[in-house]
Amino acid sequence: MATRTYKTKTLLKRLDNYDQKYYDTICKPSNIGVGYAMRAYHALKVQNPPEWKIRSKAEEVAEELRIRGVKFTTHFLKLSN
């Protein structure tokens, strides 16, 4: 993702959205009790959890904001400036 082309205000909104998505992902209950397909899906999610993807994207945005010298903080991702 090329974060340099976005305005600072847009990056702050995007970081806030990532923070909320991260919270929703880690607090969502996982009801894995169905057949083979669900077990296979769960195994894929355990190998590469969605919260890792969200966190890595948020870290890219946070790094760009640090380069720009913008103050920010997130509640659930524990990223700050």
Contact 25, 50 (CB under 8 A): yes
Indicate the pLDDT class of residue 1, thresholds 50, 70 and 90. low
CB atoms within 10 A of CB 18: 24
For 18-65, the pLDDT digits (tens) are 999 999 888 876 555 556 666 667 666 666 778 888 999 999 999 999
Tokens of 27: 């607090």
For 58-79, the pLDDT digits (tens) are 999 999 999 999 999 999 999 8
pTM of the model: 0.76
